[in-house]
Amino acid sequence: MPLYLGVDSSTQSLSAVVIDLESRAVVVDHSVNFDERLPEFGCENGVLPSRDATVAHSDPLLWLAALDMIFDDLRSQGVDLSQIAAVAGSGQQHGSVYLKANATEALKSLNPRVPLARQLRKTLSRPTAPIWMDSSTRAQCDEIEAALGGARQVAELTGSSCFERFTGPQIRKFAHTQKQRYARTAKIHLVSSFMASVLAGKHAPIDHGDGAGMNLMDIRRRAWSAAMLKATAPGLRGRLPRLARSGSVVGRISPYFVARHGFSSRCRAIAWSGDNPNSLIGVGLIRPGKVCISLGTSDTYFGVMPQPHISTEGEGHVFGSPTGDYMSLICFLNGSLTRERVKRACRLSWDGFSKALRRSKPGNGGKVMLPYFFPEIVPNVLEPEVRRYWLRASDVKGNVRGVIEAQMASMAIHSKWMGVRTRTIYATGGASANREILQIMANMHNADVYQFQVGKSAALGAALRAAHADRKAARNEMPWRQVVAGFTEPIRESRVQPHKPAVRVYRAFQKLYRACEAHALRGGPDPARARERLLSTLG
């Protein structure tokens, strides 16, 4: 029976999920953690050290080394890679890889006796890749928006106003500050299209899902926008790959993977997409109605939309969905790494963290944290600073509850523009294993929350995309609902229901949180009155 492989190149790890479509079984679920397995690349949590807190780059060679490593791992676990009919993938969104003209030939003639990282090193025109955590391009965002007539115009055209981490502003910064390297750049890939190019042995397209995260694609026409390219950098058109549907077949897998890792030469290489569009499929969101919250390195809140519905206040994005619809998404940078900071400062294990949540009460006795350990995307905070209201830094339970209530309140507040009345939330990503966190999510959103068997929704979504695309290419297309059936149902018994008294407390808490946010970020009035009102609901 044919197997399908989904690979997810994320911030902290590379994951692989292999599925058997016939028996609806996940046969492999495996990850390579960058810091643990490839420390020689000098990254921390998958990011290169930087003196400037707004700069976040990673090493494309690290991702290549992880790709060779994960296939070695799978074979040593007895997985027969020759049974894989098609492979698709998922990349952390927005990150970009800069290649010289010699990349075309190098990709075509990969030598199976030499590791990928070693032979592709010479093709990089820029040794590092800016990733989604980078917030160093505010000036470029302002310049691009000004050229287009304002942030709203850019949002209407591309699905998002200019965001610092988006690829267009990143390219503009590179083109202006490193002119010679830009001149030597022949092709600019996203993480997704770069990894797909390596697997296919030729330049792969950028799909509409990930292309929408660049501030370069016309979201309705799904084509490069001439106005955006012009406002971004000179000579950009020729440096970008073509755009394509997310189910496009790039070609057969490169002979490198056949000779070195035992793939079949018939294996199809499918276009990759961003991690969030892949996760949408991995949690079975093929129709509007439900939302998913992914608690990974970033926390994301997303759902399907038949038509683009755009946030004009800069709170979120519209991307293409792999089904051909659209998806709306909000990304919070202070996700897992921020929870880890609090956990570490309080010297707790995850069990201890959960215990602290169980032993403290909704509303946190009126203590509030604004958890900007890192620059934040929504709301926009460029200079990281943790703000505490009526909360001492030494209060363990208060800080643990403070960070989670802040993250959940921020999601509830900043997702209002989507206009979705959320009754069911699908939770995924590493921290979705934590039921105490999910209880706060359920209470804050007044919604049922469900967990999934496979926490790696992006890699699973990629495997399902591979299956869908392969069947279509073989003129044996299967509808999406049939492709995802049996893989993406949440665990029924995992339902976390909202507690009504806590839901009431959180209505007042959200007002207090909003007031603290306005006070800290916009010089708004003292939030003491909002706190009084919360304390009166706490009784």
Cis previous bond, 490, omega within 30: no
Beta carbon of residue 8, minimum distance to ligand XUL (angstroms, whole number): 10
Closer by beta carbon to ligand XUL, 239 or else 317: 317
Beta carbon of residue 324, minimum distance to ligand ADP (angstroms, whole number): 25
**How far is 110 from 243, CA to CA, in rounded Å?**
25
What tokens appear for 223 in the block?
């084509």
The residue with tokens 């990759």 is 272
What tokens appear for 539 in the block?
């009784």
Q: Which does 300 bind (CB under 5 to 8 A by kind): ligand XUL, ligand ADP, none?
A: ligand XUL
Which amino acid, residue 397? K
Q: State whether residue 352 is helix, strand or coil.
A: helix
CB 319 within 8 A of CB 90: no
Closer by beta carbon to ligand ADP, 194 or else 256: 194
Closest residue to ligand ADP, based on beta-carbon distance:
430
Among 205, 277, 296, 322, which residue interacts with ligand ADP (rule: CB under 6 A)? 296
**How far is 133 from 52, CA to CA, in rounded Å?**
12
What tokens appear for 471 in the block?
């069947």
Backbone angles phi, psi at 304, to 5 degrees: -85, 145
Q: Does 13 bind ligand ADP (CB under 6 A)?
A: yes
Beta carbon of residue 238, minimum distance to ligand XUL (angstroms, whole number): 26
Closer by beta carbon to ligand XUL, 9 or else 123: 9
Contact set for ligand XUL, span 241-300 (CB under 6 A): 274-276, 296-298, 300
Closer by beta carbon to ligand ADP, 29 or else 325: 29
The residue with tokens 């949002």 is 155
Closer by beta carbon to ligand ADP, 17 or else 240: 17
Closer by beta carbon to ligand ADP, 191 or else 233: 191
Packed helices 396-414 and 350-358: angle between N→C axes, nearest 10 degrees: 80
Beta carbon of residue 198, minimum distance to ligand XUL (angstroms, whole number): 19
* Residues in the chain, total: 539
Beta carbon of residue 53, minimum distance to ligand XUL (angstroms, whole number): 17
Q: State whether residue 106 is helix, strand or coil.
A: helix
The window from 44-52, 88-96, 304-312, 396-404 that contacts ligand XUL (CB under 6 A) reads 88-96
Instruction: Classify each residue of 34-53 as buried b or exposed e, where b means 16 or more C-beta atoms within 10 Å of its C-beta.
Output: beebbeebebebbbbeeeee
Q: Does 15 bind ligand XUL (CB under 6 A)?
A: no
Beta carbon of residue 284, minimum distance to ligand XUL (angstroms, whole number): 19
Beta carbon of residue 475, minimum distance to ligand XUL (angstroms, whole number): 33
Q: Does 336 bind ligand ADP (CB under 6 A)?
A: yes
Instruction: Classify each residue of 381-400 as buried b or exposed e, where b means 16 or more C-beta atoms within 10 Å of its C-beta.
Output: beebebbbbbbeeebbbbbb
Backbone angles phi, psi at 214, to 5 degrees: -115, -10
Beta carbon of residue 487, minimum distance to ligand ADP (angstroms, whole number): 18
Q: Does 74 bind ligand XUL (CB under 6 A)?
A: no
Closer by beta carbon to ligand XUL, 83 or else 297: 297
Beta carbon of residue 29, minimum distance to ligand ADP (angstroms, whole number): 12
**How far is 461 from 17, CA to CA, in rounded Å?**
9
Q: Kind of pairing, strands 268-270 and 84-91?
A: parallel
What tokens appear for 256 in the block?
């490198």
Among 5, 7, 9, 11, which residue interacts with ligand ADP (rule: CB under 6 A)? 11
Q: Does 92 bind ligand XUL (CB under 6 A)?
A: yes
Q: Which does 94 bind (CB under 5 to 8 A by kind): ligand XUL, ligand ADP, none?
A: ligand XUL
Number of Cβ within a 10 Å radius of residue 234: 13
Closest CA to 363 of 539, 496, 132, 210: 539
Closest CA to 87 of 99, 100, 71, 73: 71
Closer by beta carbon to ligand XUL, 64 or else 293: 293
**How far is 433 from 315, CA to CA, in rounded Å?**
27
Beta carbon of residue 407, minimum distance to ligand XUL (angstroms, whole number): 14
Site string for ligand ADP, 337-366 (x = CB under 6 A): --xx---------x----------------
**How far is 156 from 214, CA to CA, in rounded Å?**
14
Beta carbon of residue 155, minimum distance to ligand XUL (angstroms, whole number): 14
Closer by beta carbon to ligand XUL, 3 or else 441: 441
List interacting residues with ligand ADP (CB under 6 A). 10-13, 296-297, 336, 339-340, 350, 429-431, 433-434
List interacting residues with ligand XUL (CB under 6 A). 11, 92-94, 132, 165, 213, 274-276, 296-298, 300, 329, 331
